[in-house]
Structures are given as C-alpha cells and as structure tokens.
A and B are shown apart, each in its own frame.
Chain A
Amino acid sequence: MEFIICPTCNGEGSFGGKLCRTCNGRGIYAWSGGYLIFSKKVLDKEEILIDRIRKILHCLGRFLLITFGVIGILSLLKAFWEIQRGEWLIFAIQKEVLFLLFWISIITDAYLVYSIERTNEEKQKISPKTKRKSEWLPFSWPEISALSHNLKIEVVESLSSEARILMEKAWVLTCRLGHKKIEPIHLFLASLQVSNVALVINRLGLNWDALKERVSSVLSKIPVDKKKREIHYSLEAKKVLINAYDLAGEKKSKSLSSLDILESLASFEGPIKEILYDLEIGITEIKNVCLWIKIYEDLKHEHGYFFSQARLKPKGSINRAYTATATPYLDAYGEDLTLLARNGYLSVCIDREQETQGIFRIFESGRQSIVLVSPPGVGKTTIIHGIARRMVTEDVPPFLQDKRLVSISIPALISGASQPGEIEERIQIIMSEIARSRNIVLFIKDIHNMSGVQTTKGELDIAEILANALKNKLFLVIATSTPNEYKRLIEPKSLGQVLEKIEVAEPDKNTTIQILEANMAVTEGRERVYFSYGALNQAVDLSVRYLNERYLPEKAINLLQEVAIFVKNVKGERAIVQGEDVAELISQKTKIPIAKITEKETEKLLHMEELIHKRLIDQNEAVGMVATALRRARTELRSMKKPIVNLLFLGPTGVGKTELAKTVAAVYFGDENKMVRLDMSEYQEKDSINRLIGVPGGEKGGQLTESIRANPSAILLLDEIEKAHPDILNVFLQVMDDGRLTDALGKTIDFTNVIFIGTSNAGTDFIQEEIRKGTSVQTIQEILIREKLKPFFRPEFLNRFDGVIVFKPLGIEEVRQIAKLTLNKLAGQLEQKGIALKVTEDAVNELAQAGFDPIFGARPLQRVIQTKVNDALAQFLLTGKLGRRDVVVLDKGGEVRVEKAVSI
C-alpha cells in the first residue's frame, strides 16, 4: 500500500508541538477503493464516555419501548374485555385511558421499528467504501489537499463495535503507561483483550504468558512522559489502521473488525511481526485463522438459509409439478440423497465449485452421464452431497430443479437374487421407473463394481445392461470411480463410451486447511477438544509426507479425528490439540521419529559417533558420514524427496560394513532389526525384478516394496550390490533420486525415511594393495569412483550416492579392540546367568593374533573366539562345573579356568 505523507509534519500530525496546519493533523493518506483514507480521530475519554452513555440509553430506550408496547396490547385486550362485559359504559373514563395507552403504544412501537432499522442502516453505512472507480488517483500532497471532503474517509467511522472497544482500550492503555502516542504495540495489546482476537490467539495455540512477556518487553522500551498531553496516533499506527480499512474493503466486510486490525498489525515490519515470528507465527497463519472464524460464520448463515429453503422440497418421491411417478423398486434398492440432505444428514461441500460447475456444464451440453474419477478420499462423494444440498435449495440450473438425486446400491441390487434373470429384471424395472418418473438423477458410487457382475443366467455383465440404458439418454447419471479401476474396467468397455469423465484433483494445502476448518467443528463438538491452527497445518503436512497411500483431504480429516480422541484420552476434555500431538500420533502410527526432538534425543544425536563406536571399531569416516546424515535428517535439513542418505560402503569382507548398518539401526531406530536386508547376489537374473517389486497383475507386492511398506523408517541394506542385474540397479536409481517406487500393483511406496546403504566388495584387491602402499583413503576413493568401479556400476548410479565410503582393511590393533568388544558382549551374556568373566590382556592379544587375517577382516576372529572361548564355556555349563556367582578367567595360552564362588 502506498502512503501519501504530509511534507510538513512527516505524517506525525503535529509540528512544533502544535497541530500541523498543512494536513490538519491527519498526517498521512492512502487510496483505497477510490477514496482517500486517513486516521486522526482518537477514541479518548470523551468518546468513551459518549459511547457508554449511548449504550446505556440505547438499552434503556429499547426496554421502555418494548414494555410500553406490551402495555399497549394489554390495554387493548382489557378494553375489549370490558366492552364485552358491558362494563365500559360505567367506567367510560377508564376506557378512554386504555385506548389512549394503546394508540400511544402504536407510536412507540413504530419508533421501536424505526430505531432497529436505523441501527441496521448505520451498520451498513460504516461498511468500508470500495466502489468508486476513478482513473485519476493523485499522489502529490497539493493535489490531494485540493480534493473534495467527500472523497476523504476517517477510519474510525467504519469501526465495528468490537473494533471500537479495541481502540478505546488502546487509548486507556497508552494513558495508563504514560506514553505520548498510540503505537501499534498498544493496539496489539488492546486487541488481545477482545474476544475475536483472543479466539485467534487460542486457535494459533500461542502461549499467552510468552506473548504478554514479549509485549511487555517492547512496551517497557517506549519512553514515558508523565505530562498530561493529548494523545495521537503514531505514524505506524496510522498506517496499520489505514491498511486495516483496505483489508476490510477487500473482503467486502460490513465494518472494520478487530480481526482486520490484527491482520494489519501482523503484516507490517516491526516489533509485532518479530514477536509473532519468534512464536513461530507468520501472516499466512493469522490470515488462515481469521478465515477460519469467517468460515464458521458463513456456515452458520448457510445453515439458516438451507433450512429456510429446504422446507419447500417435497418429502416423498412426487415432485412439486406432480409429474413424477411412484418408484417403489428404486426406493427399495436406492437411497434418496436429496431427502437425506433435506433432513440435514449430508455435509457441506467446500471449495469444489469448479467441479460442480463442470458437472452442470456437461449436462447442459447434452451429455447425460458423467463419471467423477479420482483416488479414494479426494472428495467425489462430498461433491455429490454438495449437489444434493443445492438441489434441495434449488440453487441448480433449471434442468436439475424439482428433481431428486437417488443413489443406487449395487450390493443391495444383486444380493438375494437367486432366480435366473432376477438381476436383469430388477435393473430393467429400476431403469424404467427412473425413465418414467423423469425427476430422478441417478448416482452410482464406484460404478466399476458393476463390471464383472454376471447376471443370474451368467451370460451378461450388468455394466452392459446399464450402458445400453444410458445410450438411450432417458435420464441423468452421475457415477464415481478410481483412476485404476476406470482405466481397467470402464474405459475399454461400452460404459466408457457413454460416460463423460471428470477428473477430481486432490486439493492443495491451503484448500485442504479450509476444508478441515469447516469440518472440524463437528469433531470439536463431539470430542470436546479444540484444534489449534498448528494441528491442522501439521495434519496436512505430515499426512502428505507420511501417509502416502491415502489422499487429501480424507487422510487429514481422519488423522485429526484420531488425534482428537488421542488428546482427549491423554489430556482430558477441553484440551487444545497442538501440532505436536499430531506429530506424536503420526510417529506412533508410522514408527518414524518426527515429534519435536527431546533433550534425551538431542544428546543421542550429538554423540552419535561415540555411540556407534561402542559397537564398531575405527572406520571413522564412514561413522562420521552416517552420523551427520542422521543429524541432518532429524533436524529436517535434508531433501524430503529423497532417502535420508544414500551410501555405498566399499571394502573387503569382515571390516564392519554390515555391522555399521546394524549399529545405526540399533542406535537411531532403537532396534537392530529395523533393517531391510537384501542379498543382491540373489537378484542376478533380469526376471528377479518380479521378486523385488511384485508380479504385474499379481495380488502381492514384492519383497522390497512390501518390507518398506511395513517398515517405512528403517535401513535398507543391499549386500553385494555389484552382483545385481543392471536392470535391477535401474530400479534403485528411482528410489535414490525420488524417494519413491511404484510396485507391480500400482502402489507407490515411500522411501524418504530409509537410510539407503549398498555394500560392495568391488575393487577390494585394489583397496588392499593401495592401503599397503600407504595411499590415502581419499585418493583410493577417487580412483575407485573414476576407474575401478566402472565395470560394475554405471556412472549415473554412482552419482546418486551421497557418499562412497571406503572401509579400511583392519590392522592388528583394530582386531584386538574388536576382540575386546566381542568378549565384552560375551561377558554380558554370562552376567545374565550370574557368572562373571575376566579376561587378561595377554589372552586378548593371543586371541587377536590368532584371529587376524588381512584378507578376511574380523571374521576369523569371531571363529577363534567361538572355538576357544564359547565352546569351552558351553562344556563347563553342561557339565555343571560352572554355576551362579562363579568367575570364569580367560588367561594366557587359551586357558579357561573357573574360580568357584565361596559357598553360602
């Protein structure tokens, strides 16, 4: 918005301590709707007093007028009663008084009507003016000064009663704090005391104490001036008010409301924006919550209008023109949606005007049958319910007026039909009833279910019977189907030729939020909890991210309904559902850590390397890379359209590649088994792709896709990846790039929460040779990628990895440490049996020497420990030489001896 500022006072309204003569104290103007808007009038003590007295007089006046009206009616009744009894001749004077009271009451009643209507007219008068069209809108001060007074509008004159209270409170606050000017922060603090703004703050889920603390801090920085002076608006406050007027005008509001002021306050740069930003609230959130309140008000109005119109809709099958016939068969197998809508059983349809108009347009163009196609949960049925509601209020094109929308149930139609020809007969009768009645629009939900249903004689598909009836264009039909089923069962058949397809798109985020805002009132009422805006926002974001197999808005609605029950059970009734509650429930459902990071988890993430090293010796580079990837993932600083990280582990066997994957699963996902492990040597043939992603046309998904579907948050470990067929590696290209994979059944599987690890022995000889030569790991890595891996992997495949990590062959020192770790693990197992294990340093060294093999890594060590230690211990345990509280000592020369415990 462009402001025109007084050149003399720079918008302050006063100059040299006196009223600015150039602008007459107005300071700034701005064009809005063809008018010049300014803000000068302060609702001070005098105005507050006038307002209060006026309110009292208004209430008192109304009370007296109503009372006098009642007295007038009573007087009339009394007069007639006495006339009837013939007493009035005796009490003639009393009769005249009664009639006088009655006639006066007529005047006062008329005055009451006048007063009410004038109040409404005044409300209309304050509605922000926006309709003046002018091509010449000057922006220089001399030019606008010369413009007529009729073009200049004072903001305060357009305030709603609540906004007026807000402004009065702002003045009181400024006076009380001893400030010179009403600043935006005063307006903001005052706004928190009015009910609609308080509702917005609650819906935003803001902490009142935190908010007030920040506001107080800003207020304390304003200099205090104890001298009594007249209070004016600051330049910023004027801008806020003028902008609020413009917002109200844009919305075509009846008056400038407290919510317009709040919206305006949040949109200007300054302390208020900072405070809200600090509390994770932006202008979009404020706008959407204000819209939420407006949606509720609109729904209330719509509800009133709907029921006033619904009374005219006939309750039965006969229309208002009496042209319809009775349809007993249809009534038995179908459901009258217009009747359900009339009785208030169908929900309101939000933001589907485009699709609804599309349906009307197709019918108007002469086509008689429509199929709405979209995945389940997008809102096809809601669109139909919306049309049923419009047919009740007759807000439909003429060809749909005075008609019924009847839904037919296919299961009801075919159930119990045992006699030959029974299904055909039912369908034929229903079709002829609809054609004869001529006031029915038929709705068939999931029309693809008709395909493949054989008649009782078995020679005809019932979809074919319907298609023949539709070709005759005797009645209107709206059907629904899903994209896959439409493509498979409708499009290639005769039904596909008669049905005009309308695709219903999944709503975008903002539209979904508005749909949720309109739908959640019922859930709030039922569960007695309140949704914050954050909860709605999170429900949309997280359901999009983690509930991939379902669609908006249904998945978000279902999620919020579940969260409402979850919160009611945990926090009790009247609790506020916050965004974190939604995240927690999603976390529980999907087993993916998405709730806010706790202090314990922070600790774990920061010390990830140390935790991994408790189980894995050396390989610092690999450990570091995995740990940083996990930290990036948890703080959401990664691409959400790819796996958490794609890593390729290279190195000889037994150096810890698989062990690192297992350790990460245990440390990060909390369970060593949260790992999907595929041995790629089993996928050397091209056909094995079917085992991976499922057989086309089959009923089950593949090994990979089903495992990730069951465990969306896990490690995907592909052992010996170089052995897989190149076509199979191509499948993984998509996984690594897009984080999703479509299986043979057409289901899209989400891979964005997996850690993708491929292990390979390719180039092992080279690695060992170079390590022996003392070449740095960095150089080995570069040569591997550039040359040595080329025969195994295509460059685009290698490019998809975030890191190609070379695992060094193990030296004797590393093997010694691994021996220690393995023995520690064994000690843990013995401890559970009440036995202690002591291992001398010499014994560890001996075992490490025996188990060291530069080619096979740590694997021989495991075998040595198994034969030299585990076998001996097993022998002791079985012969009973080892019992609880005994100590096993592993000493030099492979000696294993038992130190018996002192008997009790």
Chain B
Amino acid sequence: MPVFQSIFLQGIWKIIYFPIWWYTKGLVKRIFDFSSGVLRLAHDLSLKIMVTHLFSPMFGETTKSGRIISFFMRIILLIWLLFLFILGTIGLFILLILWIVLPIAAVMEIISLLSIA
C-alpha cells in the first residue's frame, strides 16, 4: 500500500505544481526562448552583416555609380529584412503572450461554458 500511496501523492503534487510552474519557471523559460529566438532571427536574416556593409559596394562595383546603386539597393534590402524581422518578432511575441493568456482564457471559457450548461 505505501507504494500506491507514494505514487498517488506524487501524482497529486505534480498536478498542483502545474500552474505554479507554468507562471514561474515555465514563463522565465519562454521569455528566454523569446529573446534567443529574436537574436537567432536577426542572425538568420543576416541583419548585422547588412548593417555593417551598408556602405560597401555590392558585387565588387567600386565605381561611384556602383556605390550609389549599391547603397540604395542595400537600403531596400534592409527594409525588407527589417520587415521580415519585425514580422518574426511579432510571431514570437504572440507565442509568449499565448503562453500567459491561453491557460487563463481556457479556464474562463470552460467555466462559462459549464455555467451555460
């Protein structure tokens, strides 16, 4: 019997600890995931490289006109990449918000649906 008792108590504790973990350790982890996700996104989109090379001529075109065209091309490229970056960041932020909101929303919805019934 002590075997079952121990397993049962462990199970109960696991369930009680679920919401606590979700809004403490779990939330800290998601915030960390969000920040590392944003950095990774910036790395994958080569944002740093594009900014540091903003005034470098593209494709070795070192002539004056080449440099001017390169600069404007890079600006356009950078805008496009920034757009993708912001889009990605918003996506990641939504995931973070969902982590916070979704369980509360689910509980509230369940209560309201049950009260209707």
Q: Is B50 an interface residue (CB 8 A)?
A: yes
Q: Is A87 an interface residue (CB 8 A)?
A: no
- B113 touching A114 by the CB < 8 A rule? no
Name the A residues within 8 Å of B6 (CB-CB): 50
Name the B residues within 8 Å of A320 (CB-CB): 46, 49
Interface stretch among A322-330, A561-569, A805-813?
Answer: A322-330
Q: Which residues of chain A from 102 to 120 have a CB within 8 Å of any chain B CB?
A: 103-104, 106-107, 110-111, 114-115, 117-118
Name the B residues within 8 Å of A96 (CB-CB): 113, 116-117
Main SS at interface, chain A: helix
- A110 touching B46 by the CB < 8 A rule? no
- B29 touching A117 by the CB < 8 A rule? yes
A200 to chain B, nearest CB (A): 34
- A321 touching B50 by the CB < 8 A rule? yes
Q: Which residues of chain A from 654 to 699 have a CB within 8 Å of any chain B CB?
A: none
Q: Is A99 an interface residue (CB 8 A)?
A: yes
Q: Is B102 an interface residue (CB 8 A)?
A: yes
A interface with B by C-beta (< 8 Å)? 46, 49-50, 53-54, 57, 96, 99-100, 103-104, 106-107, 110-111, 114-115, 117-118, 121, 312, 318, 320-326, 402, 436-438
- A318 touching B59 by the CB < 8 A rule? yes
Name the B residues within 8 Å of A107 (CB-CB): 103, 106-107, 110
A890 to B116, CA, bound (A): 131
In the assembled complex, 27 residue pairs joining A and B whose CB atoms fall closer than 8 Å, in A order, are A46-B3, A53-B3, A57-B11, A96-B113, A96-B117, A100-B114, A103-B105, A103-B109, A103-B113, A104-B106, A104-B110, A106-B106, A107-B103, A110-B103, A110-B106, A114-B18, A114-B26, A117-B26, A117-B29, A320-B49, A321-B53, A322-B59, A323-B56, A323-B57, A323-B60, A325-B59, A402-B49
A747 to B72, CA, bound (A): 63
Q: Is B21 an interface residue (CB 8 A)?
A: yes
A324 to B116, CA, bound (A): 66
With A96-B116, A114-B22, A436-B60 as contacts: A321 and B3 at CB distance below 8 Å:
no
Closest B residue, CB atoms, query A320:
B46
Name the B residues within 8 Å of A318 (CB-CB): 59
- A103 touching B53 by the CB < 8 A rule? no
Q: Which 7 A-B pairs have the closest CB atoms?
A: A325-B60, A106-B106, A103-B109, A321-B53, A100-B113, A103-B106, A320-B46
Q: Which residues of chain B from 20 to 67 have a CB within 8 Å of any chain A CB?
A: 21-22, 25-26, 29, 43-44, 46, 49-50, 52-53, 56-60
Name the A residues within 8 Å of B46 (CB-CB): 320-321
Name the A residues within 8 Å of B58 (CB-CB): 322-323
A322 to B56, CA, bound (A): 9
A338 to B46, CA, bound (A): 18
B interface with A by C-beta (< 8 Å)? 2-4, 6-7, 10-11, 14, 18, 21-22, 25-26, 29, 43-44, 46, 49-50, 52-53, 56-60, 74, 77, 102-103, 105-107, 109-110, 113-114, 116-117
Name the A residues within 8 Å of B110 (CB-CB): 100, 103-104, 107
With A57-B7, A104-B110, A323-B58 as contacts: A110 and B102 at CB distance below 8 Å:
yes
Q: A96-B117, A114-B18, A325-B60 are in contact. List 7 more A-B contacts (CB 8 A).
A: A96-B113, A103-B113, A106-B102, A110-B102, A114-B21, A114-B22, A323-B58
Complex partner residue of A54 from B2, B7, B22, B26, CB under 8 angstroms: B7
- B60 touching A324 by the CB < 8 A rule? yes
Name the A residues within 8 Å of B18 (CB-CB): 110-111, 114
Most buried by B among A50, A103, A402, A438: A103
A363 to B50, CA, bound (A): 25
Name the A residues within 8 Å of B57 (CB-CB): 323
B75 to chain A, nearest CB (A): 13
A318 to B22, CA, bound (A): 46
Name the A residues within 8 Å of B117 (CB-CB): 96, 100
With A100-B110, A114-B26 as contacts: A437 and B103 at CB distance below 8 Å:
no
A502 to B3, CA, bound (A): 66
Name the A residues within 8 Å of B49 (CB-CB): 320-321, 402
Main SS at interface, chain B: helix
Name the A residues within 8 Å of B74 (CB-CB): 322
A305 to chain B, nearest CB (A): 13
Name the B residues within 8 Å of A115 (CB-CB): 14
Closest A residue, CB atoms, query B18:
A114
A506 to chain B, nearest CB (A): 39
Closest A residue, CB atoms, query B111:
A103
Name the A residues within 8 Å of B29 (CB-CB): 117
A294 to chain B, nearest CB (A): 27
Name the A residues within 8 Å of B109 (CB-CB): 99, 103
With A57-B11, A117-B29 as contacts: A110 and B59 at CB distance below 8 Å:
no
Most buried by B among A57, A104, A110: A110
- A50 touching B106 by the CB < 8 A rule? no
Name the B residues within 8 Å of A438 (CB-CB): 60
A118 to B22, CA, bound (A): 11
A49 to B110, CA, bound (A): 37
A54 to B74, CA, bound (A): 59
Name the B residues within 8 Å of A114 (CB-CB): 18, 21-22, 26
A325 to B59, CA, bound (A): 5
B25 to chain A, nearest CB (A): 8
A317 to chain B, nearest CB (A): 10
With A46-B3, A103-B106 as contacts: A323 and B59 at CB distance below 8 Å:
yes
Name the B residues within 8 Å of A46 (CB-CB): 2-3
Name the A residues within 8 Å of B26 (CB-CB): 114, 117
Complex partner residue of B21 from A106, A118, A436, CB under 8 angstroms: A118
- B106 touching A53 by the CB < 8 A rule? no
A863 to chain B, nearest CB (A): 91
Name the A residues within 8 Å of B21 (CB-CB): 114, 118
Closest A residue, CB atoms, query B106:
A106
A882 to B2, CA, bound (A): 106
A211 to B114, CA, bound (A): 66
Name the B residues within 8 Å of A110 (CB-CB): 18, 22, 102-103, 106
- A53 touching B7 by the CB < 8 A rule? yes
- B59 touching A324 by the CB < 8 A rule? yes
B31 to chain A, nearest CB (A): 14
B12 to chain A, nearest CB (A): 13
A50 to B6, CA, bound (A): 8
B106 to chain A, nearest CB (A): 4
Closest B residue, CB atoms, query A107:
B106
A438 to B102, CA, bound (A): 51
Name the A residues within 8 Å of B4 (CB-CB): 53
A53 to B11, CA, bound (A): 12
A99 to B49, CA, bound (A): 48
Name the A residues within 8 Å of B52 (CB-CB): 321
B2 to chain A, nearest CB (A): 8
Complex partner residue of B113 from A49, A99, A324, CB under 8 angstroms: A99
B36 to chain A, nearest CB (A): 14
Name the B residues within 8 Å of A53 (CB-CB): 3-4, 7
A904 to B4, CA, bound (A): 102
- A321 touching B56 by the CB < 8 A rule? yes
A736 to chain B, nearest CB (A): 65
Most buried by A among B18, B102, B106: B106
Name the A residues within 8 Å of B113 (CB-CB): 96, 99-100, 103
Most buried by B among A100, A322, A402: A322
A391 to chain B, nearest CB (A): 15
Name the B residues within 8 Å of A437 (CB-CB): 60
Closest B residue, CB atoms, query A72:
B106
Closest B residue, CB atoms, query A437:
B60
Closest B residue, CB atoms, query A115:
B14
A100 to B22, CA, bound (A): 22
Closest B residue, CB atoms, query A92:
B116
B66 to chain A, nearest CB (A): 11
- A322 touching B106 by the CB < 8 A rule? no
A469 to B43, CA, bound (A): 35
Most buried by A among B4, B52, B58: B58
Name the B residues within 8 Å of A324 (CB-CB): 59-60
Closest B residue, CB atoms, query A47:
B3
Closest B residue, CB atoms, query A319:
B49
